[in-house]
Every structure is written in structure tokens, then in C-alpha cells.
Chains A and B, each alone.
Chain A
Amino acid sequence: EVQVVESGGGLVQPGGSLRLSCSASGFIFSNFWMGWVRQAPGKGLEWVANIKQDGSETYYVGSVKGRFTISRDNAKNSLYLQMNSLRVEDTAVYYCAREGPAADSDYWGQGTLVTVSS
């Protein structure tokens, strides 16, 4: 059974940092692009970032470029999101998702809540 499980969310002050992790199982992790999607309170889904199978390509939404870094460790079947210079507007549930062949997010985790507040 395919599973992705996020962790690492919490409360952080503006300007602070947080690292999210996503542990994957039930599929060959190194064969798939992986990504992060977020949902701010009362808002819709927002695509955040994704990373190629071998980590050689990464992409970001404009609002997080230069502040967030996506990475992966295929030996550990794990995906990460390092978030620096956090802003109040980064408050959201962050989902880890596997990308299928059509670049659709075919499996999602339950999400981890990040709250940026003083």
C-alpha cells in the first residue's frame, strides 16, 4: 500500500525556520517525482515545490523561491522541505504528494500544520 506521512510542523515565529519531512513507503521512491502542496486556513490548494527522481531538478512557486528548499534522500525514502525566513502568510497545512506519470499528485499524506505567529 502506498503511504506518505508528513512530520515536522509546528508553531514558529516570523523570520524563523522549520524543516518538514515526508516518509514514503509502498512504492519505489526513487522512481517518482515528489512535491509539496499547501492549504492556508480558509483558502484553496497551492502548489509549492517539486523535485525530480534523482534530485537534479527542483521547482518552486514564486512566493517561496529563495526561502524554501526541497530535497530528498532516496536511501531513506524521504522528502524534505526546509523553510527559512518564514512569514505569517506561510501558515498552512503542508501536504507531501507523489507525482504520477501525468505529473498529477496521485498519493497524498494527511498533512502537517505550520503556524507562523508571534
Chain B
Amino acid sequence: DIQMTQSPPSLSASVGDRVTFTCRTSQNIGNYLTWYQHKPGKAPKALIYAASHLRSGVPSRFSGSGSGTDFTLIISSLQPEDFATYYCQQSYRTPPYTFGQGTKLEIK
């Protein structure tokens, strides 16, 4: 199975900050990577698919980049509603489509 490593495990930031999340995979997955936002008690929400494509309705302050084994999610200017846990997931070839362990974004 493909292993996913997200860093950092947690992050403290303030409204207006620029934040960067990193996801690394154990093998080359091309651009088969999705980023999700998850708030407690809510359904996870897909933000970015195919590593860099913003889903319809997701604010443009979110952006994704990377290919191969190294990927990045950036929030350019944090808003209060962005505090959540962020997960990456690979969907390369045959399942299982593993998730990273998540990065919890907290208010500083």
C-alpha cells in the first residue's frame, strides 16, 4: 500500500496568515492527490483534486501544487472558517486509497 506522510501534525496560525501543508507519498502517484477539509461533526469536504485543481465553490485562497511524491496545500490568507483538520488522499491506480494522518489547524 502507498504510505502518506503529512506535516506538520498540527499548526497554529492567525487570521490573515499564509499557511502551508505538506503531503509526501511513498511512491510516485503522478497527480492523483486530493485535499480535504474536515470539521468536527461535519462531512469532510473536498477542496483540491488532481493535486492542483480547485473544486467548484471552494474559495480561491486555497491552492494546491506538486506531483510525483511531494504535494503542497496553501491557504493564502486564513479566514476564521478555515480552522479545521486537513487531509491528503492518494487515488493512484488500484485501491486502497490511503489518507495522510491529517494536519490540525488551530487558532493562535
Say whether, besides A44-B101, A45-B36, A102 and B96 are in contact (CB < 8 Å). Answer: no
Say whether, besides A44-B99, A62-B96, A95 and B43 are in contact (CB < 8 Å). Answer: yes
B7 in the interface (beta carbon within 8 A): no
Q: Could you say which interface size class chain B belongs to?
A: 20 to 34
> Interface SS of chain A: helix, strand, loop or mixed?
strand
B 87-108 to A, binary, CB cutoff 8 A, 1 in contact else 0: 1010100111111111000000
Q: Nearest 4 CB-CB pairs, A to B? A: A103-B91, A59-B95, A104-B34, A108-B43
List chain A positions with a Cβ less than 8 A from chain B: 35, 37, 44-47, 49-50, 59-62, 95, 99-100, 102-106, 108-111
List chain B positions with a Cβ less than 8 A from chain A: 1, 32, 34, 36, 38, 42-46, 49-50, 53, 55, 85, 87, 89, 91, 94-102
